[in-house]
Structure 1
Amino acid sequence: MLAGNLRRLREEAGTPVEEIVKAAGVIGLEWTPVWLTALEKGTKSPTAEQLLALPVVLTASLGHRITLADLLAGEAPVLLGPETAVRARHLHDLVTGEPTHPLISLPVPEPAPEVGAAARAAEKMREIRHAGLGNIDMRALSRAEAGAGDAETKLARKLGVPPILVIAAAASLWGRSLTEERDARLAEGGTPTAINRKLTTDLTVRLEEAVRADTGQR
Structure 2
Amino acid sequence: MEAESVGAVVGKNLERLRRRAQMTQHEAARLFARRGAPLSRSKIAAIEAGERTHLTFADVLVIAHTYNVEVAELFDGHGPVAIAEHVVLSRPVIRGLLRGTNVPEGSVSWDPQTHQAELLRIADVRAEGDAVTVGKFRLADADHALAQRLNVAPQIVVDIALQIWGNTLTEERDARVSRFGALDRGERHAHRGHITRELSQEIEAELAKQGQITQHEEEIDEQE
Fold shared per TM-score above 0.5: no
TM-score range, shorter chain: 0.3 to 0.5
TM-score by length of 2: 0.39
